[in-house]
């Protein structure tokens, strides 16, 4: 783990990290998140009975679109040429939740963790927006980095640091 914050210069001022000297490498990040809900809400989503439309398709597309615009949302993120972005949403009947998984990939000088996290978060927010009329108590939770591969710092798999 690094002992300094890379977005601060020597005097403590905010800076965008200079990655110009770094080599282009293939980089992948996988993020996840969940939306907990009432069983009836899950049933309505599964059956396509939410009045706003196909919740899962709209949430997937929103996540993909968000990943492509991450640098516009997160002030110090570099704009990246994504080579792949995928968002999947699995309905977990036993847990009364939608489980989101977002994968981002690029070949470049910096990682795609923020793009994967943004995709997962926006997919969750969109799912909430689409179904809030029937369940305002839904809970977006556990948005986190699951895996990261490539780059100077190497691989990371959640849970392996313990």
3-state DSSP call for residue 19? coil
Is 3 part of the annotated catalytic residue set?
A: no
Q: 3-class secondary structure for 54-111?
A: CHHHHHHHHHHHHHHCHHHHCCCCCCCCEEEEEEEEEEECCCCEEEEEEEEEEEECCC
Q: Output phi, psi for 120, to 5 deg.
A: -65, -45
Angle subtended at Cα 31 by Cα 148 and Cα 60, rounded to the nearest 5 degrees: 135
Any residues with CB less than 8 A from the CB of 125 and at least 6 apart, and which? 62, 140
Active-site annotation holder among 18, 24, 129, 135: 129
Task: Give the residue numbers marked as catalytic.
Answer: 129
């Amino acid at each position: 783990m690094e002992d300094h914050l890379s977005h601060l210069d020597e005097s403590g001022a905010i800076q965008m990290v200079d990655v110009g000297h770094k080599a282009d490498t293939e980089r992948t990040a996988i993020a996840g998140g969940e939306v907990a809900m009432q069983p009836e809400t899950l049933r309505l989503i599964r059956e396509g009975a939410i009045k706003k439309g196909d919740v899962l398709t709209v949430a997937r597309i929103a996540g993909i679109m968000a990943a492509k615009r991450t640098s516009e949302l997160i002030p110090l993120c570099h704009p990246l040429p994504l080579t792949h972005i995928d968002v999947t949403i699995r309905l977990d009947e036993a847990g009364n939740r939608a489980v989101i998984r977002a994968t981002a990939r690029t070949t470049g000088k910096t990682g795609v963790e923020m793009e994967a996290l943004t995709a997962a978060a926006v997919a969750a927010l969109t799912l909430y927006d689409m179904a809030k009329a029937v369940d305002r108590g839904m809970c977006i939770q556990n948005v986190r980095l699951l895996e990261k591969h490539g780059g100077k710092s190497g691989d990371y798999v959640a849970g392996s640091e313990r």
